[in-house]
Structure 1
Amino acid sequence: MKDKTIDYILRATWQAVSRMYNEEAAKYSATMATGFALLSMDKEKGTPSTALGPKMGMEATSLTRTLKSMEDKGLIIREKNPFDGRGVLIFLTEMGKEKRELSKNTVLKFNETIKQHVSEEKLQHFMEVAEIINELIQEKNIFNQTENTTDESNH
């Protein structure tokens, strides 16, 4: 991957991770999106549906489809939010909690496996680079720069 661009490496790696998670989730008649949604929901207190999209980085239409599928499979139930008449709280059913545990164990297994093969120092560098990329994008410092600065000393 030495001659590849940074965005190519990110995309190819994420596609591989996504494919791996979807293959694993398929064993339980689920998808990576379902597992991610389960992990993003509060186990006990319920989660406002409006909080899920931003938390998961998902568009509303995709999230709506995922939640509908999860409701059809009996993983979640929706209830009116008693503190906000316009809102809905999403609660995990018992089966939803079981599938959430499966998702959690899958993510932990992935993380542990990576940690067995990558030194703590390299992992820390990876996290730092990812954080810098996210900051540059959030601060719109890539395509909206007024001047081109390549000073890496502060990163």
Structure 2
Amino acid sequence: MMEKSESLKLDQQICFPLYVLSKEITGLYRPILEELDLTYPQYLVMMVLWEQEGLAVSAIGEKLFLDSGTLTPVLKRLESKGLITRVRNKNDERMVLLFLTEQGKDLRQQACSIPQKLLSQINIKIEDLENFKETLTQLINNLKK
């Protein structure tokens, strides 16, 4: 008879509560982002570009931990919505740089209320949330080494 392993119990796993949390948080974003006609991955790309335009596709992929196969359809959709433009780098034709259109820049103002809308749905102190984010960032950095 095999010995039961405590380490295989669902409530002993770190991955499971992170998976559920990710699913639930993304679900909270969905109706908020629908008002802007954005999906969560599109919102992530827009946040990166609102912070700094003219980035290469590869740089955005690195920031968001997304490969080009996942990122390319998101970028094509944002371009078809008229929010971004893709421009070949004059110095290196293989590199595609991303820029916001006027419509993409204007969307930033509408998006400013998103973090507060989301926070209002989560019953947690801001300090606890900041500490949790710090711990998660440390875990991610440790895994990426």
| TM-score normalized with structure 2 length | 0.76
Q: Which residue of 1 aligns with 2:129?
A: 123
- Residue correspondences, number: 135
1:120-145 CA-partner distances (Å, limit 9, x unpaired)? 2x335423432342244234xxxxxx
**2:68 aligned to which of 35, 38, 60:** 60
Overall identity of the aligned pairs, in %: 27
Task: Spell out the pairing of 1:98-109 with structure 2 (5 A cutoff).
Answer: 98-109=106-117
Partner secondary structure for residue 86 of structure 1: coil
Give the aligned CA root-mean-square deviation in angstroms.
2.5
Q: Which runs of 5+ in 2 are unaligned?
A: 1-10
Greater fraction helix = 2
* Match 1:18 to one of 23, 26, 29: 26
Given that residues 28 and 118 in structure 2 are in contact (C-alpha distance below 8 angstroms), is that contact kept between their aligned partners in structure 1? no
- 2:5 maps to what in 1? none
Distance in structure 2 (CA, Å) of the matches to 1:124 and 1:107: 13
State the one-letter code of the partner of 2:125. Answer: V
- Secondary structure of the structure 2 residue equivalent to 1:84: coil
Q: 1:132 to 1:40 in 2, by over 3 A?
A: closer
Distance in 2, Cα, partners of 1:104 & 1:110: 11
Shift of 1:100: 3.0
Runs of 5+ consecutive residues of structure 1 not aligned to the other structure: 140-155
The structure-2 alpha-carbon separation of the partners of 1:41 and 1:9, relative to structure 1 and needing over 3 Å to count, comes to same
Q: Which amino acid is 1:60 matched to?
A: S
Paired residue for 1:137?
Answer: 143
Counterpart check, 1:82 vs 2:90 = yes
Classify 1:4/1:15 alpha carbon distance in 2 versus 1 (closer, same or farther; 3 Å). farther
Code of the aligned partner of 1:137:
L
